Chains A and B, each alone.
Chain A
């Protein structure tokens, strides 16, 4: 397999100019606008933003798991060269849980409460790998063991409600791994968990990335989680990517005023600030586009006349830089 090989520089997944809309009763909400990014094998990309930023809608669009009112209106989702936005549904079903798997914040909504853990996990092995039920169960138990469920064999015979929240999320991860995915989309996988359990699950994700060369799109609202596990970060605001680059660089010195404001509004563990920086106002309503100005302009501390003239494009901060941002101000003006 040469596709998506990091040595050839070809990405495993590349999302090109993706736009997604939700057609509600009385209005159309453009949840995702012109989102482009790619992910290499073994890479962890953090998709970060606040409520309504479009981060989850982007994740759901990739696997075409949008609710009935949602649809991709533009763009391509290329998995090793094949456009997931265009393939037929039966083919898409083989991709889901196969080459691309997804886990969510609340494992209870993904697990069938009436089925023993091993039965629902075995389903994946039977469907995607053509295993017999017995083989599939053996594989499921081995994976439950791998993700750190103690006494996996007997836990597998139990029901989901008998597992703790952390154990359920481990079971979900095991289920996601059953089809040997190359890409895992994890939507707020640790948000509902206690912090000591969150640390364990993040550690597990890191191990799996290393061990299996798994690529991960980690959808989260928590910049700290991004800092812990992501190689690269995409910061989303109002359905758009407003900044992207290596997680370390972006978090250390953001090039977009929104990223900076977001970072400064998180209280810190290592010192007490007298005042947190908050972002005044609210994000724009996404049923009222297209926008003729920068979508962050009404809340931006660095706003100037030009910001209202047109929406800036996502472009390199310096010629040839891999860091992109949707802002006309120079990086020095932003962080200075």
Chain B
């Protein structure tokens, strides 16, 4: 962890609600290195989008520490935050909601440049916007058109160009390809990969689609009900998932190869509400491997190997099982505590 662009430490985001607050994010920690793509993946209510919003300053963090390029990130509206505007940008699922329908494509892309570099002459600004259009694969002749005259894929390209206009270092993509047809989705994914190389970008890629994760991410954090349950390099995590939830997620993805999924890998029942997460391990109500400890104590995110983390008693016990099963429980607690302390 030498060259962390973004550091998220023990981030919690709770939303006030009756009868109890919604614990959208509970103690999430991760880093994004320069040039890397970290994917946050999970189902509804897991907190992945809330993390993105907290990083962008769109929702206040309840607790925790956010650092960008080594310096604390001030909340939106506070001094110093404006300087971050051009360093991190976000694209969303629905380009229609991000684009002003009354602005031409060229004006939409030029607008952020005008805000961050107000002294740049109009001609140069438009030149840069036009060149961004080429960068994202849009024909320059579309510059005078309005969003409704473009297809969904083209509109998402406009949003990408607009985000790149201020030359950001980190691009947060929140379900950026989820609404697109697969043939168009493939175009946009290829584009995002190309742009990462060309502009030395880092991505925080938020998606529910594991197939997309495998394709774009260098590392993955799997989230469930506000917590990261497994974290690791993409290929290692997909080839040998450890957490029962990761295994259930992967098993649930409809596969073209149609390999029979062992029934025990499946997650049972419904996703509980994040306003009332289960006591103990949050996944225990659906876990095919649940045992009595899971409903009583909350597992911590422990270190599996140098780069992998997992939040599961069973996996933890397996790891140390070889050394001494009898005293497993005591060892786990001690190690978990140390790991926890180390993080804080």
The chain A residues found within 8 Å of chain B, CB to CB, are 50-51, 150, 164-167, 194-200, 202, 221-225, 227-228, 248, 251, 261-263, 265-273, 275-280, 282
Can you report 23 residue pairs joining A to B where beta carbons are below 8 Å apart? A50-B181, A51-B152, A164-B271, A167-B270, A194-B208, A195-B43, A199-B251, A199-B266, A221-B181, A265-B185, A266-B182, A267-B212, A267-B214, A268-B211, A269-B211, A269-B238, A270-B255, A276-B186, A276-B215, A278-B184, A278-B186, A278-B190, A280-B187
Main secondary structure on B side of the interface with A:
helix
Closest to A228 in B: B254
**Residue in B187, B189, B258 whose beta carbon sits within 8 Å of that of A227 in the complex:** B258
Contact A228 B187 (CB under 8 A): no
Contact with A along B249-264 (1 / 0, CB 8 A): 1111111111001000
Cα(A268)–Cα(B44), bound, Å: 22
Contact A275 B190 (CB under 8 A): yes
Contact B256 A196 (CB under 8 A): no
Asked if B289 is an interface residue, CB under 8 A from chain A, the answer is no
Closest to A226 in B: B254
- Residues of B near A261 (CB, < 8 A) are 183
**Residue in A51, A150, A265, A269 whose beta carbon sits within 8 Å of that of B255 in the complex:** A269
Q: How large is the interface on B (under 10, 10 to 19, 20 to 34, 35 or more residues)?
A: 35 or more
Cα(A275)–Cα(B252), bound, Å: 24
Asked if B151 is an interface residue, CB under 8 A from chain A, the answer is yes
Contact B215 A273 (CB under 8 A): yes
**A199-B252, A262-B183 known, 8 other contacts, Cβ within 8 Å:** A150-B269, A222-B254, A225-B254, A265-B183, A269-B250, A270-B257, A272-B215, A279-B186
- Residues of A near B44 (CB, < 8 A) are 165, 194
Ordered nearest first, which 5 A-B pairs have the shortest CB separation?
A224-B254, A265-B186, A199-B252, A194-B43, A278-B186
With known contacts A199-B252, A262-B182, A267–B211 Cβ distance under 8 A: yes
Most central of A164, A269, A270, A280 by chain B CB within 10 Å: A269
Contact B253 A269 (CB under 8 A): yes
- Residues of B near A222 (CB, < 8 A) are 254
Closest to A270 in B: B257
Contact A266 B211 (CB under 8 A): yes
Closest Cβ of chain B to A55, distance in Å, is 12
Closest to A265 in B: B186
Contact A272 B254 (CB under 8 A): no
- Residues of B near A251 (CB, < 8 A) are 256
- Residues of A near B286 (CB, < 8 A) are 196
Contact A276 B190 (CB under 8 A): yes
With known contacts A194-B43, A199-B266, A268–B256 Cβ distance under 8 A: yes
